[in-house]
Amino acid sequence: MARHNFRNLKIWQDGVEFVLSNYAITNNFPDSERFNLTSQMNRCAVSIPSNIAEGSAKSTDKHFKIFLETSLGSAFEWETQFIVA
């Protein structure tokens, strides 16, 4: 049975650190990107630990894995946007 305490998960802790790093990066983007690339990258970054936390509440490891995969998808999406930036 899943139900992990997400705050104790290293992957979640790393995700929160990643969000902070992302905000430091996007804070330096030009104002013209505020509602475009900056906003999208911020949402992707926040989605990573958020999906880990949400998945930790699921009752089976199978469901938890789905949320981890969603989190990974957000990480790949963020990486693509970083390359574009």
Considering the segment(s) 6-16+34-84 as one domain, its CATH architecture is: Up-down Bundle (1.20)
* Better-scored residue on pLDDT, 4 or 48: 48
Residue 4 confidence (pLDDT): 80
Residue 3 confidence (pLDDT): 74
2 pLDDT more than 70: no
Buried b / exposed e over 12-27, threshold 16 CB at 10 Å, is beebbebbeebeeebe
Closest to 49 (Cα-Cα) out of 19, 24, 73 = 19
| Owner of token pair 């990573």 | 48
1 pLDDT more than 60: no
pLDDT tens track for 17-71: 999 999 999 999 999 998 899 999 999 999 999 999 999 999 899 999 999 999 9
**pTM of the full structure:** 0.92
Separation between Cα atoms, residue 25 and residue 41, nearest integer Å: 10
Query: 3-state DSSP call for residue 29?
Result: coil
Domain ranges in the chain are 6-16+34-84
